[in-house]
């Protein structure tokens, strides 16, 4: 089994394989209906949309309650049946956004999208695009899913490469086995086929960890056509799944050309499943799957949650109450903790890590990360303590070894700390940094290397140095890499 599917083995320079305690089991549990939801009017890619409802109005789960057909955006929906209580402001990492509060009436049904069809091959491209837009699924990627509506900066006819990101590389992540359990594997394949219909020029690439290769090959072979996509098998190391890095890994030098890079769309496996659900089942974006990760939960598993559910509805049931935990959505290396538990789960949530607040004396001045490198099979603890004090750089080279874009973090760090902000930093490729924070994580001297590099980039921009868009490799010798604006 498996012969005939084109498999390309690739990997990035550097990176780090995490093996943290509290990985989620594949089990999926549905959280009971919340009594109230808070629906942000900006979720995922695109602008904030305008509310279409007022306090006191009755709404149905799946009903569009916010949209803006003029700006680049996708509609948002009521996720429960009930009554609009109020419109409020939410303070999020993206700033202040408006949100609609709905009191749920306790009924679980939802309103399907008009025109969906189990026999989706019979649907026109226009109808599929309309279903994707009305469902809100078009907001689920870094660049949006292009349609004839204003859901992305490019048109779907221009997309030349569709990369499906199935890599489990983040410190905590959704499990591919949980996502594709049972009939969901076939739904996933159908979801890609649906997108292929609206992006007819696109080559399809499916990127997965090497250990998931066989599972995915079998799904592809069930279609009876082993050659309609290229399977890319990668080592499971962070930040392999980063959109920019993955595009470069798969497309090589072509990804350096900004015109070509614009024609690439990267979508997650969870998004592909939502594409299927919107077009085949008429399901709007009213729920999402969130993995409860880290040592703070009573159990680690996947949870199906209505969008807009306040975090306290999850924490009050599943969080261990004996200690203090920091709740961090998605990537724990790059995201901030959420302290206000009235904050809702939105479309972007994939994981929710509960990391213990370990305030113990910082007496262990060695790096647990450094030691873990000697035995990668041992589960690493996960808490919010540095386990060591800030010390001078010992030139161990750890940061350089893990940096996925091949720059020298400790060198940049020293320049920024001495305020040597000049073109020299650009020659050392400071603008290549993708802010994965791995250099800070592995540093045994506890130096916030990534933070200093980000500061260096900001100072360069403030001083008028700008990152020039990537140019065609053939022109590269003629044009300087960067310019002073
Ligand atoms: S944060 Fe930047 S410099 Fe540090 S490892 Fe990641 S890409 Fe390299
Ligand atoms: S990991 Fe830390 S101590 Fe080691 S070279 Fe980099 S900055 Fe210096």
Span from the CA of 230 to the centroid of ligand 2 (angstroms) = 38
Q: Which of 424, 483, 414, 425 has its CA nearest to residue 457?
A: 425
User: How many whole angstroms from its chain centre is CA 140?
Assistant: 9
Q: What is the CA(383)–ligand 2 centre distance, in A?
A: 21
> Is there a contact between 84 and 54 (Cβ–Cβ < 8 Å)?
yes
- Write down the pLDDT at residue 470: 42
Phi, psi of 272 (to 5 degrees): -60, -40
Contact 39, 100 (CB under 8 A): yes
Give 441 Cα–ligand 1 centroid separation in angstroms.
Answer: 10
Q: What is the pLDDT, as a whole number, of residue 476? A: 31
Q: Among 445, 449, 450, say which to mutate for ligand 2: greatest number of ligand atoms within 8 Å of CB.
A: 445
Instruction: Tell me how far apart the alpha carbons of residues 423 and 431 are, in angstroms, rounded to a whole number.
Output: 11
Mean pLDDT computed over every residue of the chain: 89
The CA dihedral of 119, 125, 128, 132, to the nearest 10 degrees, is 150
Contacts for 474-483: CB closer than 8 Å, 24+ residues apart: 481/426, 482/423, 482/426, 482/431
26, 177 contact by CB (below 8 A): yes
Of 54-68, 71-85, 460-474, the least confident = 460-474
Does the C-beta of 450 come closer than 6 Å to ligand 2?
Answer: no
pLDDT tens per residue, range 65-110:
999 988 999 999 999 999 999 999 998 877 899 999 999 999 999 9
Q: What does pTM read for this prediction?
A: 0.89
CA distances from residue 262 to 93, 161, 256, 475 in whole angstroms, order as listed: 26, 10, 10, 18
Ligand 1: residues within 6 Å at CB? 402-405, 407, 409, 433-439, 449-450, 453
Q: Cα dist. 450→1, 101, 364 in Å?
A: 44, 38, 22
Distance 454 CA to ligand 2 centre (A): 16
438 Cα nearest atom in ligand 1: 5
Ligand 2 centroid–CA 409 distance in Å is 8
DSSP 466: E
Pairing of strands 203-209, 161-166: parallel
CA 189 to chain centre: 20
CB 188 within 8 A of CB 177: no
Task: Report which of 111, 204, 210, 206 is spatially closest to residue 162, judged by C-alpha positions.
Answer: 204
User: For residue 141, what pLDDT band results from cuts at 50, 70 and 90?
Assistant: confident
Long-range contacts, 286-290 (Cβ 8 Å, 24+): 286/61, 286/62, 286/77, 286/78, 286/79, 286/80, 286/110, 287/79, 288/345, 288/347, 288/349, 288/350, 289/28, 289/174, 289/178, 289/179, 289/350, 290/314, 290/345, 290/349, 290/350, 290/351, 290/352
Between the CA of 438 and the centroid of ligand 2 the distance, in Å, is 11
Q: Which domains does the chain have, with CATH numbers?
A: 6-15+114-281 (3.40.50), 34-104 (2.40.50), 287-356 (3.10.20.90), 368-467 (no CATH)
Span 385-403, pLDDT tens digits:
777 788 999 999 999 999 9
Q: Compute φ and ψ for 467, nearest 5 degrees.
A: -80, 125
Task: With a cut of 80, say whether residue 408 has pLDDT above it.
Answer: yes
Q: Which ligand has its closest atom nearest to the C-alpha of 433?
A: 1
Which is nearest to 167 in space by CA: 237, 219, 266? Answer: 237
Residue 273 has pLDDT above 60, yes or no: yes
Measured on CA atoms in the order 131, 134, 137, 141, is the torsion positive or negative?
positive
Helix ranges (DSSP H) in 199-332:
213-221, 243-251, 258-261, 269-281, 311-318
pLDDT, tens digit (0-9, with 9 covering 90-100), for 314-361: 999 999 987 789 999 999 999 989 989 999 999 999 999 999 887 665
Cβ–Cβ under 8 Å, residues 347 and 320: no
Q: Which two tokens stand for residue 223?
A: 């279609």
The residue whose CA is least distant from atom 4 of ligand 1 is 439
């Amino acid at each position: 089994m498996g012969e005939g599917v084109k498999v390309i083995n690739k990997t990035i320079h550097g990176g780090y394989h995490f093996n943290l305690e509290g990985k989620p089991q594949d089990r999926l549990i549905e959280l009971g209906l919340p009594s109230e939801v808070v629906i942000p009017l900006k979720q995922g890619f695109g602008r904030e949309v305008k509310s279409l409802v007022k306090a006191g109005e009755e709404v149905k789960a799946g009903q569009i309650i916010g949209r803006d057909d003029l700006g680049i955006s996708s509609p948002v929906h009521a996720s429960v049946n009930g009554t609009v209580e109020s419109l409020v402001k939410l303070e999020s990492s993206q700033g202040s956004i408006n949100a609609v509060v709905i009191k749920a009436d306790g009924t679980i049904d939802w309103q399907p999208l008009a025109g969906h069809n189990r026999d989706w091959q019979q649907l026109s491209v226009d109808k599929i695009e309309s279903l994707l837009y009305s469902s809100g699924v078009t907001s689920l990627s870094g660049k949006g899913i292009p349609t004839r509506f204003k859901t992305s900066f490019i048109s779907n006819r221009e997309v030349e490469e569709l990369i499906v990101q199935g890599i489990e590389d983040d410190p905590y992540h959704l499990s591919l086995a949980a996502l594709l359990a049972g009939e969901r594997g076939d739904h996933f394949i159908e979801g890609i086929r649906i997108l292929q219909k609206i992006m007819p020029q696109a080559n399809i690439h499916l990127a997965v960890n090497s250990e998931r290769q066989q599972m995915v090959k079998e799904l592809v072979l069930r279609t009876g056509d082993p050659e309609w996509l290229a399977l890319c098998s990668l080592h499971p190391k962070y930040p392999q799944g980063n959109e920019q890095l993955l595009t470069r890994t798969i497309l090589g030098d072509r990804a350096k050309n900004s015109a070509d890079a614009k024609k690439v769309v990267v979508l997650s496996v969870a998004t592909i499943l939502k594409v299927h659900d919107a077009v085949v089942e008429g399901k709007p974006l009213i729920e999402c799957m969130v993995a409860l990760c880290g040592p703070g939960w009573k159990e680690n598993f996947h949870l199906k949650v209505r969008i807009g559910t306040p975090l306290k509805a999850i924490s009050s049931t599943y969080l261990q109450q004996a200690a203090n935990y920091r709740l961090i959505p998605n990537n724990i290396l790059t995201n901030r903790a959420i302290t206000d538990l009235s904050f809702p789960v939105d479309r972007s949530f994939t994981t929710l890590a509960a990391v213990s607040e370990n305030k113990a004396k910082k007496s262990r001045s060695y790096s647990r990360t450094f030691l873990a490198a000697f035995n990668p099979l041992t589960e690493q603890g996960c808490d919010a303590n540095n386990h060591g004090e800030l010390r001078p750089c010992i030139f161990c080279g750890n940061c350089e070894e893990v940096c996925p874009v091949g720059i020298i973090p400790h060198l940049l760090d020293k320049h920024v700390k001495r305020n040597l902000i000049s073109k020299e930093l650009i020659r050392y490729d400071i603008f290549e940094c993708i802010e994965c924070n791995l250099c800070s994580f592995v540093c045994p001297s506890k130096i916030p290397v990534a933070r200093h590099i980000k500061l260096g980039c900001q100072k360069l921009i403030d001083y008028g140095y700008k990152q020039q868009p990537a140019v065609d490799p053939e022109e590269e010798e003629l044009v300087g890499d960067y310019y002073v604006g």
